[in-house]
Structure 1
Amino acid sequence: MTDVPGAARRRELTLALVAERGFVRVADLASTFGVTPVTARADLDALERGGAIRRVHGGAVPMNGAAGTGDRPEREPTFEQALEASVRPKQAIGEAAAALVRSGQSVILDVGTTTLQIARALRRRTDLDDVTIFTNGLSIALELEPEIPRFTVVVTGGTLRPKQHSLVHPLAGSMFDEIHVDLAFIGGNGVDAAHGVTNANLPEAQVKTLMLRAAARVVIVADASKLGEVHLGRIAPVDAFNLLITDAAAPEVLIEEFEALGLPVLVAGAEPGSPADPPQPTT
């Protein structure tokens, strides 16, 4: 009879499996280690308390998308630091998001490096004309400036946050009380089934909530590293959004959680016809 590994060794191996596979089931762990499902759940609970994993229905996924390290940045990264991270996934998300825009529409582009990729993808859409874009991101406004007058670019105003080159309260939200746009693309530092869409900075989270209310259709854009994360400022529950666009590294179990709550998920770069690549939404 094979010896059952001790709790410490079992949890070490469990953590390695979560990091390797991206998702492990309680039943599989019980079978692998020759323990009861109750013991397997207890191991996962202990690892979650230590910040190494995140429990989901039926099993666990890595915390923070970082191979089970559980490390959370102590400080909000600058815009430039974020711009260097996950470049290709963000480009794929930007292309998928820009494909939803039609000539003659009005659009909100939230501040952020993923939404900057949307702006760049919109510039490459030579078929687009007469698009009005509202933004609270100075980097996004400057990116779009060469497309004037093909695009009309409206900057919200407000108080400048140097770290993200974003405009926040006071005054940043006043414009959103006066407009109603066709489509809003909103970013966030965390997208979690239970805790909703959240952001590390409270003033930015407040502006994002106003953007959501000012749009007929709202899309949350977040690369896989943001999924399952929870931060200080809550923007809205996931079912307040019409679509999540993420990248191919998104764990299927998290996608299933979002879809079960009524949030469709479009995986940028997924193979056509795959379960995570639903039909193109209409605008």
Structure 2
Amino acid sequence: MESLDAEARRTALTEVLAAQGFVAVADASARLGVSEVTVRADLTVLAARGVVRRVHGGAVAAGSVREAPVEATAERDAELKRAIGGAAARLVRNGSSVMLDVGSTTHAVAAALVARTDLGDVVVITNGLQIAQTLEAAIPRFTVIVTGGSLRPLQHSLVDSIALDTLRGLHADLAILGCTGIADDRVTNVNLPEAAVKRAMIAASSSRVLVADSSKFGRRDLSAVAPLAAFGTVVTAGPEADAVTVPFATRLVIAA
């Protein structure tokens, strides 16, 4: 591999992208036997040719689904998201601690938690600025902890090392997480840094709830988050909700 010239390397990178949909700089460096600087330069050339699209940590094939702003996704299927949010919020108990990641469906969970006036002494840990602002209305019934981290404008989310380090130092009774795809019994997400935060929340919680409308099933996105079996409960809604299947030990809740 060390003898590959530039065009041969770029062909190899293109083949990996065709097979996997994503190539990480670190993985490509090890695979090709060249430095990460060289891989980044090759990806820059391929991006200029329109073959790839650069993303955090690597590249995806050109034409891959782009991430939409949370304001745009909130408008799509808003009633379904409210139903899912309400059903998930009913799973939270007084005196518990909850991790809540970013997304339009988890934002609906936050709004439903605030609306539960019977709920008190709850700690909510989030990496979402928009979610924290919504939860602020429930203080002092709720304690709201924001992770810190690098700000991503599309989701108003906090990611990368500071967010991950914060989560490693915490533990919650429950994590309520969203996603952008579920296929082959695996949960996936379109954005790499946010997928890393989701994995950290899974590791730092005793139980997990996945909130996703039925359109997410059968779709696979860029980054693997966890096996679907890692979630004790899946809350969904939508026209195809009755066709959703989950692993044997996972409870399926169809919100109405």
Coarse TM-score class (shorter-chain normalised): 0.7 to 0.9
**Matches of 2:154 and 2:102 in 1, distance apart?**
11
The aligned counterpart of 2:234 is 244
**Matches of 1:101 and 1:73 in 2, distance apart?**
36
Say what the alpha-carbon RMSD is for the aligned residues: 1.4
1:175 equivalenced with 2:166 (yes/no): yes
**Matches of 1:153 and 1:252 in 2, distance apart?**
35
**Matches of 2:185 and 2:153 in 1, distance apart?**
28
Q: Is the 8 A contact 1:189 1:199 kept in 2?
A: yes
1:94 equivalenced with 2:94 (yes/no): no
Deviation at 1:195, TM superposition (A): 5.2
Decide which of 220, 225, 233 is 1:230's aligned counterpart.
220
The residue identity in structure 2 corresponding to 1:188 is C
1:140 equivalenced with 2:127 (yes/no): no
Deviation at 1:225, TM superposition (A): 1.3
Q: Is the 8 A contact 2:229 2:247 kept in 1?
A: no
Deviation at 1:170, TM superposition (A): 2.3
The aligned counterpart of 1:74 is 65
Structure 1 alignment gaps of length 5 or more: 1-71, 270-283
**Matches of 2:64 and 2:178 in 1, distance apart?**
18
Percent of pairs with identical residues: 47
1:126 equivalenced with 2:113 (yes/no): no
**Matches of 2:87 and 2:239 in 1, distance apart?**
15
The aligned counterpart of 1:263 is 250
Other structure's SS at 2:161 match: coil
The aligned counterpart of 1:106 is 97
**Matches of 2:170 and 2:157 in 1, distance apart?**
20
**Matches of 2:64 and 2:253 in 1, distance apart?**
27
Decide which of 199, 205, 208 is 1:215's aligned counterpart.
205
The residue identity in structure 2 corresponding to 1:196 is R
Normalised to the residue count of structure 1, the TM-score between the two structures is 0.66
**Which whole-Å deviations, capped at 9, do the CAs of 1:36-64 have from their partners, x for residues lacking one?**
xxxxxxxxxxxxxxxxxxxxxxxxxxxxx
1:157 equivalenced with 2:144 (yes/no): no
Paired residues, number: 194
Normalised to the residue count of structure 2, the TM-score between the two structures is 0.73
Q: Is the 8 A contact 1:259 1:265 kept in 2?
A: no
- Listed as ranges, the matches of 1:197-216 within 5 Å are 197-216=187-206
**CA radius of gyration, larger in:** 1
Q: Is the 8 A contact 2:185 2:229 kept in 1?
A: no
The residue identity in structure 2 corresponding to 1:266 is V
Other structure's SS at 2:163 match: coil
Q: Is the 8 A contact 1:224 1:246 kept in 2?
A: yes
Structure 2 alignment gaps of length 5 or more: 1-62
**Which whole-Å deviations, capped at 9, do the CAs of 1:2-38 have from their partners, x for residues lacking one?**
xxxxxxxxxxxxxxxxxxxxxxxxxxxxxxxxxxxxx
